[in-house]
Amino acid sequence: MITIENLHFAYSRKKSLFKDLNLELHPGKIYGLLGKNGTGKSSLLKLIIGVLFPKKGSITIEKFQSSQRHPDLLSDVFFLSEDYELPAISIKSFVKANAPLYKKFDENMFYEFIDLFEVAKDSNLQKLSFGQKKKVLISFGLATNARYLLFDEPTNGLDIPSKSQFRKVLLKGFREDQIMVISTHQIRDLNQLIESVIIIENGQIIFKKDVFELEEKLVFTKSLSETPENNTIYTESVAGGYIHVGPNESGVASEVELEVLFNAVVKDKNSFTETLQS
Amino acid sequence: MSFSLARFFSLVKRDFIIYKKPVIYLAIGFILIMGFLSWIGYASQNITDFKFWFTWFLMALMGGGLLLTSVAFWEFKSPAGRIQYLSLPASNLEKFATRHIYTLIVYPFLILSLFTVLYMILSSFYPNISIGSEDRFMIKMFMKTYVLAHSVVIICGIYFNKYVAPKTMITGWAIFFISLLIGLFLVRIIFHDMFSGFFQKKMDIDVTMDAEFQEWLEIGIQDKLNAILLNVLPIFFWVVAYFKMKEKEV
């Protein structure tokens, strides 16, 4: 479990990024970390892996403080940052260089994912495109069998077929004892993957709900009419019509449109909280 | 603080795989430079002159070694590199120790070996080449000076992310001038009755040291100061460097 307690963090003395932030992440879930630009999604992930230190408060992963960067913890954490640098060596050499540091690394699993992503095994990393490099890192991350997988904008740079491959690979590689946190702006790419939604705004977690609960309590209706139906709490125009969000009175679960949900929560968090509590 | 030999060797292996090519190019470059130097020495008839080789030894040890130390944490030059290196599953001590050993032990050892081999080759051709006890003492002193300088540069290598060598030089000069100024002011304050102007010595005061005092200062204090400077200070700086590594953020 990842526990964040009373987290304060700032890059400068004048403006703090997180104030008294609290969050608990449990195994067996894929969390979607959503927020506008500059709200601190990437910083939160960096704080969790211990490459940034909290000014106050604590981040505990199992028995370790993340800022200690204890090797036993680091071998159980894999972070894919938005930007990365890969050496000018072959994929095989990359595995040979890095795999011994991860106790549970599974080489067969790595090459299985590489095959799924359709990346040539004997390629030199420097000659791969941005998206292909990302595929190598995602495959490596999953093959480490780390229990904490943190991905920052993983679908950036991936072409359309690769996004679908990414979802397949992620679902194939994910286990019930793992926690996966995906920070993204491209919610549509991950709509069917995310199991719990976390929204950050103004240095706070303003929303944290399981998609399962949202499906039960909210209904996302597509309509040609802009006029809201009864009890509609949010309406958004989309290509070819409108999406209305309201309380689910029929009891039949409806698919959650994460992008609409995000816009709705950011616009009026209180209406959502009331609807979800009722 | 944890240390595992298995992880340490995994880091060494990782570095070797990733930086194999640059290391090979560097080694070839060094051998070519040595060949070129031999040719210069031969052409200028300095080939049997110890001072000629000693100057190049110093250049290789101090210049090359400290430059290498300044880029020992090459990954720190970009935020992505820092994230990847700091989040590698090894302790801060293991990460620090690997780069420390390359620059403090492996590199000077290679340089010393290279010059020893060169000396052996040259002495077989020119039997009049010899290294005297004073030369050996100088080599030993400069090796110790390298250890001290290395301990300072490695702190800067961890602290600064980019342009470590120029930033280290600027910081070094700044610290030197500030220390000099502080020293001068302290002398001015403590021995105020010896000055007439701000730094103008009173002409009627004899500042010649008592011979006994001078001997105590030169033999007693200077040796102790040297021992502290060359043996204790590097250890203190390495501890500081380790803590800098521990505190390193993206």
Q: What percent of chain B has pLDDT over 90?
A: 56
Closest CB to B249: pick one of A51, A84, A98: A51
Q: Are A101 and B11 in contact (CB under 8 A)?
A: yes
- Residue A196 phi, psi dihedral angles, 5° rounding: -145, 135
Residue with token string 């000659």? A127
Which is nearest to A144 in space by CA: A87, A104, A171? A104
Asked if pLDDT for residue B202 goes beyond 70, the answer is no
Strand partners of residue B194:
none
Q: Which pair of structure tokens corresponds to residue B5?
A: 């030999």
- Which residues of chain B make contact with A51, given a CB cutoff of 8 A? 82-83, 86-87, 249-250
Domain boundaries, chain B: 5-162+208-247
pLDDT of the residue at A73:
95
- What value, to the nearest 5°, has the Cα angle with vertex A231 and ends A230 and A236? 90
The residue among A81, A96, A133, A134 with the most chain B CBs within 10 A of its CB, best to mutate, is A81
Q: Which residues pair with B40 in a beta bridge?
A: none
Tokens representing A222 are: 């597509």
Residue B102 distance to chain A (closest CA, Å): 18
The mean pLDDT of B206-224, rounded to a whole number, is 82
Copy the structure tokens of residue A11: 């890059």
Q: Domains, chain A, ranges and CATH? A: 2-202 (3.40.50.300), 210-277 (no CATH)
Q: Is B180 on the interface with A (CB under 8 A)?
A: no
Pick from A70, A77, A96: which is nearest to B2 by CB? A70
> Which residues of chain A neighbour B2 with C-beta distances below 8 Å?
70-71
* Nearest residue to A210 (alpha-carbon basis) of A23, A31, A24, A22: A31
Residue B51 makes CB contacts below 8 A (sequence gap 6+) with none
Considering only CB atoms, B89 lies closest to which of A51, A71, A97, namely A71
- Weakest mean pLDDT among A197-206, B6-15, B100-109: A197-206
Q: What is the SS3 assignment for B126?
A: coil
Residues of B in contact with A102 (CB under 8 A): 89
**Sign of CA pseudo-dihedral A252, A253, A258, A262:** positive
Residue A219: Cβ within 10 Å count:
23
DSSP string, chain A: -EEEEEEEEESSSS-EEEEEEEEEE-TTEEEEEEE-TTSSHHHHHHHHHTSS--SEEEEEETTEEGGG--HHHHTTEEEE-SS----SSBHHHHHHHHGGGSTT--HHHHHHHHHHTT--TT-BGGGS-HHHHHHHHHHHHHHTT-SEEEEESTTTT--HHHHHHHHHHHHHH--TT-EEEEE-S-GGGGTTT-SEEEEEETTEEEEEEEHHHHHHHEEEEEES--S--TT--EEEEETTEEEEEEE--S-------HHHHHHHHHH-HHHHHHHHH-
Give the H or E element holding residue B233: helix B233-247
Report DSSP state, residue B201: B
Output the tens digit of pLDDT for each of chain A's 278 residues.
Answer: 999 999 999 998 888 999 999 999 999 999 999 999 989 999 999 999 999 999 999 999 998 999 999 999 999 999 999 989 999 999 999 999 999 999 999 999 999 999 999 999 999 999 999 999 999 999 999 999 999 999 999 998 888 888 988 998 888 889 999 999 999 988 888 888 899 999 999 889 999 999 998 888 888 888 888 777 778 888 888 888 889 888 888 878 888 889 899 998 988 877 777 777 76
Contacting residues of B for A92, CB less than 8 Å apart: none
Please indicate if any CB of chain A lies within 8 Å of the CB of B22. Answer: no
pLDDT score recorded for residue B226: 85
* B214 has a pLDDT exceeding 90: no
Q: What does residue B34 show for φ and ψ, rounded to 5 degrees? A: -65, -40
Q: Is the pLDDT of residue B203 over 70?
A: no
Mean pLDDT of B37-46: 84
Chain-chain contact of B87 with A93 (C-beta, under 8 angstroms): no
pTM recorded for the entire structure = 0.89
Helix (H, G, I), strand (E, B) or coil at B182: helix
CB nearest A97 (choices: B14, B81, B83): B14
CA distance A45 to B74: 23
Nearest CA in chain B to A51: B249
What is the DSSP code (8-state) at residue B200?
P
Mean pLDDT (whole number) for B127-142: 85
Mutate to test the interface with B, among A85, A137, A156 (most CBs of B within 10 A): A85
What is the three-class DSSP state of B195? strand
Of residues A277 and B72, more confidence is placed in B72
Q: State the pLDDT at residue A79.
A: 96
Distance from the Cα of A69 to chain B's closest Cα (Å) equals 7
Strand partners, B195: B201
* Rounded Cα–Cα distance for residues B127 and B56 (Å): 21
What is residue B11's predicted lDDT score, i.e. its pLDDT? Answer: 97
**For B165-179, what is each residue's pLDDT tens digit?**
999 999 999 999 999
Residue numbers in B near A100 (CB within 8 A): 10, 13-14
